[in-house]
C-alpha cells in the first residue's frame, strides 16, 4: 500500500506528538513541571481540536445550581424528606452537594492542604511515586490516558487504590499527607455508607440493599492538582466524562472549575464551604435500570494564579471480585420496565474504560445496553 502525502503527514504528526508525550512523561514532573519552567504557550498535546474549541463558543453557560441537601435532617426525623430530595436529584441531575455530612471540616481542609504539600514538594521527592504501573497501589502521574487520548488535560493526579489484590499499606503513601489521607478515607467511607442507605430507600428498597449487593467500599481516590494554565481557553482540566463507579464523593476547594452537563448546557458546580459534591456513576445507572442518572461532567482549566485541588473518592464495590456480576436489580424489573442493560463485571468495565481516553460514556454504558 502506498501512503498519500496527507496520510504520511498525519502519520508523521502522530509520531511526533507521541514523542512529545513521552518526553513530557519522562520528566516525571507533570503539568506543574511545565508551569515551573515558565511555559507561556502550552504544548500542542494539551490543545483541543479547533472544532471543539469553536463549539464551546456556542454552548450556553447556564446559571442553574446543583441541588444542595442538608443531611443534618437525619437527626431530626426528616429522613423521608432527605430521601425524596436525593431521589429527585439522582433522577434528574445525577449530582448534588451535601452539607452537615459528618466529615469534619478541619479534616477536609487538611486534605486539601496535604494535596498541595505533596505536589509542591521538590520534584525529586515526588519522582519515586511517578508511575503508570497498574500493580502499584499509589501512582502519581499526569493523565492516566496520556497515550490514548487525542489531547491531554492540564492536571496532575496522585491516585490511591484502597482495595485490590493486596491491601493498601500506609507506608506506601507520601509521608507529607499519609495520616490525613488514611483518616479522610475512613470518614468518607462512613458518609458513603449513609448515602447508599438513602439511595436504597430512594429506589424503594431496604436501606441495606445496595451495601449487601456489594456496591459499597472505596476502591480508588484521585487527588487532583490543577496548576494555573497560561492558555485556559485551549485546554481543559478534565475532559467530559462520566464516572466508572456506583458513587463518587468529591471534595473541592473554593476555587471551583467543576461543570455538569445538564439540559444541554454546562452548569458550574460552585463550591460551598464545608460541602461535598456527590455524583452517581455508570454502575448505579445500570443497576437502577436508568432510573438514576450518571451524568457527564468536566473540569475547566484553572485560570487562577493559585493551584486548584480536588479529591474524588470512587465507590466501585468489590472491583476484584471477578465472579460477581452486576445488572439491573430484579426488584425494579417488570413487564412494563424491561431490563435496559445486561450483566457485567466491574473488572470488564475497567479494562475497557482505562484502555481508552477519558471522554464521555463511549467506554461505558453503551457497551452494556441490551
pLDDT in tens, 246-305: 999 999 999 999 999 999 899 999 999 999 999 999 999 999 999 999 999 999 999 999
pLDDT value at position 190? Answer: 96
The whole model's pTM is what? 0.92
Instruction: Report the C-alpha gap between 199 and 180 in whole angstroms.
Output: 28
Whether residue 314 contacts residue 281, with contact meaning beta carbons closer than 8 Å, is answered with: yes
CA atoms 231, 234, 235, 240: torsion sign:
positive
> pLDDT of 193-246, one tens digit each?
999 999 999 999 999 999 999 998 888 999 999 999 999 999 999 999 999 999
Sheet of 218-226: strand order equals 68-70, 95-99, 276-280, 247-252, 308-315, 218-226, 156-161, 138-141
Local confidence band at 164 (pLDDT 50, 70, 90 cut-offs): low
The larger pLDDT score, comparing residue 76 to residue 130, is at: 130
Strand partners, 223: 158, 311
Residue 54: pLDDT above 60? Answer: yes
What are the grid coordinates assigned to 37, written together? 519552567
Specify which of 8-17, 68-77, 320-329 reaches the highest per-range mean pLDDT: 68-77
Residue 10: predicted pLDDT:
42
Instruction: Count Cα atoms within 13 angstroms, Cβ side, for 339.
Output: 14
CATH of 66-368, one of 3.10.450.50, 2.60.120.330, 2.30.38.10, 3.20.20.70: 2.60.120.330
Distance CA 366, CA 370 (A): 9
76: pLDDT confidence band, cut at 50, 70 and 90? confident
Q: At what angle do helices 105-119 and 178-202 cross, to 10 degrees?
A: 130
For residue 109, the tally of other CB atoms under 10 A from its CB is: 14
Q: Report the mean per-residue pLDDT for the chain.
A: 90
How many CB atoms are located within 10 Å of the residue 338 CB? 10
Work out the burial of residue 99: count CB atoms within 10 Å of its CB; fewer than 13 is exposed, 13-18 middle, 19 or more buried.
middle
| DSSP H/E element including 157 | strand 156-161
CA dist., res. 43 & res. 24, Å (int)? 9
- pLDDT grade for 11, boundaries at 50, 70 and 90: very low
Residue with cell 439491573: 328
Return d(Cα 105, Cα 302) in angstroms, integer. Answer: 24
pLDDT of 3 higher than 50: no
Render the burial of 254-280: b for 16+ CB within 10 Å, e for the rest: ebbbbbbbbeeebbbbebbeebbbbbb
What mean pLDDT comes out for the span 42-65? 84
CA dist 313 → 56, 107, 291, 316 (Å): 29, 15, 23, 10
- pLDDT per position as a tens digit, 310-361: 999 999 986 555 568 899 999 999 999 999 999 988 877 877 776 665 555 5
Tell me 58's DSSP state: T
pLDDT of 9 strictly over 60: no
- pLDDT (average), residues 158-164: 84
Burial of 169 (0-12, 13-18, 19+ CB in 10 A): exposed
Least confident of 70-74, 158-162, 320-324: 320-324
Q: Does the pLDDT value for residue 363 go beyond 60? A: no
State what percent of residues in the chain have pLDDT above 70.
89
* First and final C-alpha spacing in the chain: 39
Amino acid at each position: 500500500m502506498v501512503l498519500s502525502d496527507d496520510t504520511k503527514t498525519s502519520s508523521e504528526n502522530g509520531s511526533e506528538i507521541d514523542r512529545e508525550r513521552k518526553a513530557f512523561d519522562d520528566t516525571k514532573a507533570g503539568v506543574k513541571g511545565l508551569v515551573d519552567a515558565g511555559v507561556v504557550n502550552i504544548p500542542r498535546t494539551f490543545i483541543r481540536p479547533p472544532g471543539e474549541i469553536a463549539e464551546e463558543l456556542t454552548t450556553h453557560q447556564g446559571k442553574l445550581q446543583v441541588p444542595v441537601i442538608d443531611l443534618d435532617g437525619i437527626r431530626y426525623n426528616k429522613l423521608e424528606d432527605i430521601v425524596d430530595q436525593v431521589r429527585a436529584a439522582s433522577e434528574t441531575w445525577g449530582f448534588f452537594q451535601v452539607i452537615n455530612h459528618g466529615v469534619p471540616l478541619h479534616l477536609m481542609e487538611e486534605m486539601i492542604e496535604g494535596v498541595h504539600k505533596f505536589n509542591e514538594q521538590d520534584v525529586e521527592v515526588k519522582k519515586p511515586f511517578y508511575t503508570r504501573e497498574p500493580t502499584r497501589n499509589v501512582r502519581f502521574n499526569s493523565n492516566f490516558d496520556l497515550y490514548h487520548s487525542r489531547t491531554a488535560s492540564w492536571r496532575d493526579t496522585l491516585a490511591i487504590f484502597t482495595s485490590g489484590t493486596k491491601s493498601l499499606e500506609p507506608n506506601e503513601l507520601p509521608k507529607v499527607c499519609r495520616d490525613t489521607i488514611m483518616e479522610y478515607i475512613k470518614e468518607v467511607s462512613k458518609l458513603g455508607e449513609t448515602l447508599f442507605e438513602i439511595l436504597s430507600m430512594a429506589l424503594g428498597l431496604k436501606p441495606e440493599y445496595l451495601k449487601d449487593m456489594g456496591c459499597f467500599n472505596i476502591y480508588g481516590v484521585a487527588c487532583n492538582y490543577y496548576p494555573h494554565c497560561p492558555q485556559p481557553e485551549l485546554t481543559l482540566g478534565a475532559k467530559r466524562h462520566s464516572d466508572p463507579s456506583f458513587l463518587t464523593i468529591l471534595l473541592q476547594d473554593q476555587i471551583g472549575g467543576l461543570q455538569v452537563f445538564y439540559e444541554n448546557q454546562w452548569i458550574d458546580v460552585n463550591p460551598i464551604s464545608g460541602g461535598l459534591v456527590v455524583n452517581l456513576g455508570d454502575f448505579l445507572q445500570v443497576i437502577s435500570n436508568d432510573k438514576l442518572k450518571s451524568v457527564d461532567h468536566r473540569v475547566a482549566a484553572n485560570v487562577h494564579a493559585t493551584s486548584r485541588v480536588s479529591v474524588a473518592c470512587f465507590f466501585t464495590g468489590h472491583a476484584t471480585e471477578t465472579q460477581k456480576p452486576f445488572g439491573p436489580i430484579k426488584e425494579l424489573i417488570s413487564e412494563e420496565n424491561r431490563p435496559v442493560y445486561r450483566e457485567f463485571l466491574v473488572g470488564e468495565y475497567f479494562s475497557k474504560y482505562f484502555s481508552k481516553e477519558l471522554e464521555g460514556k463511549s467506554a461505558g454504558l453503551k457497551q452494556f445496553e441490551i
